[in-house]
Chains A and B, each alone.
Chain A
Amino acid sequence: MAAGPYNYSYIFKYIIIGDMGVGKSCLLHQFTEKKFMADCPHTIGVEFGTRIIEVSGQKIKLQIWDTAGQERFRAVTRSYYRGAAGALMVYDITRRSTYNHLSSWLTDARNLTNPNTVIFLIGNKCDLEAQRDVTYEEAKQFADENGLLFLEASAKTGENVEEAFLDTARKIYQNIQDGSLDLNAAESGVQHKPSSPRGTQLSNDQPTNKEGCAC
């Protein structure tokens, strides 16, 4: 009973961004269902999925918001960056244009999330080696210059999909551990189960005078 499916210490909020058709929804589906969705329809607005993972012995629930890549939804999806603890920025290694747009996605992510948000760059469709249009080295360099985590993955084969999601969680967890992520702050994108003993050692400098205020 104690290991019930809803027993977790943290909720991390993720957002997946990137151009249309790079496979954001497929990555999410692969991660949550461990299946490849062959003919995935275009996302309308936003969709979301959850999965519980374990990092350093802690159960963590990931709440993942999958945004539409189409330009016309940009106004809608922009509102979902708020409070994301992790942002997965996806491009398609077989389409250079999706890689070229990364800087604009990155600007959005930096402007609309908090400074501690972990941004993870994913080069999707790495199973299509023959059609590769962006080299690993180039993307790696881009990631390094901008302080991003980076992996090439394939939503189709599932390669590196788990790793990308888990590495992000690990990084966020590490930020919590070394105190650089303030859990009590609203919009940190991380919610903590208060009764867990670990909670006390985390920074607690923000007064939490939370009286219900109905205006």
Chain B
Amino acid sequence: MSDTPAPSQSQSNPLARKLNKILESRLDNDKEMLDALEALSQFFGENSLRSRRNLRGDIEHRSLTINEEFAVAFKEVKEQLDGIHEDVRAMSECCQDMTSRLKVAKEQTHDLINQTTKLQAESQLLQMKSEVADAFLSKFQLQPAEMKVLRGGHNTNMTEDFFSALERAKSIHNDVKVLLRTNQQTAGLEIMESMALHLETAYERLYRWTQAECRLLTGDSLEVSPLLCQAMSALQDRPVLFRYSLDEYGTARRTAVVRGFIDALTRGGASGTPRPIEMHSHDPLRYVGDMLAWLHQATASEKEYLQAVLKMVPEDCVEEPMAEVLGHITEGVCRPFKVRVEHVLVAEPGPVILYKLANLLNFYHHTIGSILQGSSSLLATTEDMHQLSKKLFMNSLNCHASKLMEKVELPPADLGPTAALNQTMALLREILSSYDSSVVPLDARRTDFTEVLSCVVDPLLQMCAMSASQLNPADMATYMVNCLYMMKTTLSLFEFTDQRLEMLSAQVDAHLDTLVNEQASFTLSHVGLAHMYSVVQQHQPREGPLSAVHGLDRNSIKTAMKQFDAFLASPDDLVLPQCKFLLSATLRDVVDKRSMDVIRQVYEQLYTAVTDPANKYEDPNELVQRTPQQIKQLLS
């Protein structure tokens, strides 16, 4: 059967199944079996029949023993648990006891706690109050140290602390006003009073210190300590003290500037260069110019120092005192400066130098005026000196002019300008050209020029007229033209002389007319046409024909025409000697041309008269052979 194993048979066959099961079961996988076997192996020593028979009994016996052991062990456990239970119960009792005791204690401390809380709140309140009081004190009271700094001693130094303390005192004084508005008026008033007291002392001390500090500022150079700047700024609140301090500063600087000026004048540089300014006192322009330049520079420096001192003072409060103090500082040098300039001016350096000095002073008046205020005495002094030099200049010009008038020279033989005129013109030229080197504004220049010109030109014209009065017309005209021409050429080089030039030109023209007339009549009378011309002009047609008039007969005309022809051949022969003396070639030409014009016109009239049939000349064209046209060509 096993040879024909079929799955369905083997399934159905119980034996086969059992077998299969046994065969399939793996002993080493069955843990229970293994344990059982192992337990068995402990007491199953020898595999004998007896032992096999007793196996069950042994096993049961063993099991009993084990259970007994278990019962003994468990009993012990139970006893112990009983003990624990006892303990726990005891503890619970104990706890209950404690709880009840606590309850009692709580009831007893309740009052105490309440009291403590109250006290605590009270303490907090007090602490707060104390803080408020502290804050109040720190806000409205000075620290002892601050008070000490404010009061200071006589020989304690000024420090930064002083200013912060002062600032605090000031702010307290301000803040305290708030108190006055509340119901703390008494405290407010008291604090205010004490602060005012502190402030007064402090300002007093600050002022003394500033004053002493300012007094030391007399060196050439200036140390402007930040403390002094602060002091000046702080003193703003006491305008009177501020002004006094500034005055003190001004006085110190004034001394320094005067000393510096005198040093520059008399001592100069260390090693001799630059030399003392007074070394140049022989050269008025240099001398005065150096002094003024020094003053200009010193003024600029002083202004800077002052700005440094007042740099912390608000700008709008600075302007006025600054101008005043600067004026004060520069006032000291006025006298030494003035004395020296006056000395120079009085020494009569001559009009040109005086004029240049006036311009120089005027220039510096403007230059320094841009630094100083108009009211300062240094400016006033320079202006005074300017006016003085100008006055002396005008005086010296007037003096020159009146000398001209006193001693009128006769015109020289060549009818040219006199030496006095030449000299005066040279002077005028020098004066007017020195204007180029000055920086006077245009308007002032115009006024000056007008003044100078009227001071010089008018007397000159009078002088010329006087010296020409003795001369014959031609000489007079020539002389005057020469003089006027000379003045005109001089003046034409300068500005603002238009009016004068116009006047001079008109006069030149007038005298030229005279000269032209003289020249024409000289020529005409020389060729014999002058008489004829006057007759022709006076002749009236009703008096009969011209040919009948004496002196205008055919022969006379013929002779005259012959002479006129000779003149036409060489017109230069009949030029007046005076005309040759005219300095200007252009004017000579003008006289020449215009006199020829006159001659031509005269001839033309004569020609018309002769050729007029009413005048009954026979054969007029033979008598006057040349037409006016030809004459014009010949004479031009």
Q: Which residues of A contact B (CB under 8 A)?
A: 1-2, 4-7, 11, 13, 44-46, 48, 50, 63, 65, 72-73, 75-76, 78-83, 111-115, 182, 184-188, 191-195, 206, 210-215
Contact = CB atoms under 8 A, between A and B. Distances in A.
B221 A44 contact: no
Contacts of B332: 214
Contacts of B220: 186, 191, 210
Interface string B285-303: 1100110111011001100
A76 B289 contact: yes
Residue among A6, A46, A112 with max Cβ neighbours from chain B (10 Å): A6
A65 B221 CA distance: 18
A195 B439 contact: no
A73 B438 CA distance: 8
27 contacts: A4-B229, A63-B301, A73-B437, A73-B439, A75-B360, A78-B286, A78-B289, A82-B277, A83-B269, A83-B297, A111-B273, A112-B274, A114-B271, A114-B273, A114-B274, A182-B270, A184-B270, A186-B263, A186-B264, A186-B267, A187-B264, A194-B219, A195-B225, A210-B219, A213-B262, A214-B335, A214-B336
B259 A210 contact: yes
A188 B437 contact: no
Given A72-B436, A75-B437, A65 B269 contact: no
Given A63-B304, A215-B262, 14 more contacts: A6-B308, A50-B304, A65-B297, A73-B437, A75-B286, A80-B293, A83-B274, A83-B297, A185-B269, A186-B263, A187-B270, A191-B220, A195-B225, A210-B220
B256 to A, nearest CB: 8
Contacts of B224: 6-7
A212 B221 contact: no
A182 B272 CA distance: 13
A213 B226 contact: no
B274 A1 contact: no
B258 interface: yes
B52 to A, nearest CB: 121
A81 B66 CA distance: 135
A76 B304 CA distance: 23
A195 to B, nearest CB: 5
B167 to A, nearest CB: 13
Nearest to B221: A191
Contact of A4 (B221, B255, B292, B311): B311
Interface in B213-248: 218-226, 229-230
User: 7 closest A-B pairs (Cβ-Cβ)?
Assistant: A185-B270, A191-B221, A79-B293, A6-B308, A212-B255, A72-B437, A187-B269
A212 B301 contact: no
Contact of A187 (B256, B274, B311, B367): B274
Contacts of B225: 195
B260 interface: yes
B261 to A, nearest CB: 9
B152 interface: no
Contacts of A75: 285-286, 289, 360, 437
Contacts of B273: 111-115
Nearest to B163: A1
B363 interface: yes
Interface string B342-381: 0000000000000000001001000100000000000000
A78 B218 CA distance: 28
Interface string B406-443: 00000000000000000000000000000011010000
A79 B311 CA distance: 31
A213 B542 CA distance: 102
B271 A194 contact: no
Contact of B259 (A4, A45, A63, A212): A212
Nearest to B332: A214
Contacts of A186: 220, 260, 263-264, 267-270
A45 B367 contact: yes
Query: Which of the listed residues B260, B271, B277, B292 has the most CB atoms from chain A within 10 Å of its own CB?
Result: B271
B281 to A, nearest CB: 14
Interface in B63-83: none
Most B CB contacts (10 A, CB to CB) among A78, A194, A214 go to A214
A91 to B, nearest CB: 23
Contacts of B439: 44-45, 73
A5 B219 CA distance: 21
A82 B294 contact: yes
Contacts of A112: 273-274
Given A76-B293, A81-B274, A114 B259 contact: no
Contacts of A211: 259
Contacts of B363: 45, 76
Nearest to A4: B226
A113 B275 CA distance: 9
Contacts of A111: 273
A82 B259 contact: no
Nearest to A13: B297
Given A76-B293, A191-B220, A7 B311 contact: no
A192 to B, nearest CB: 6
Contacts of A193: 221-223
A46 B269 contact: no
Contacts of B436: 72
Nearest to B255: A212
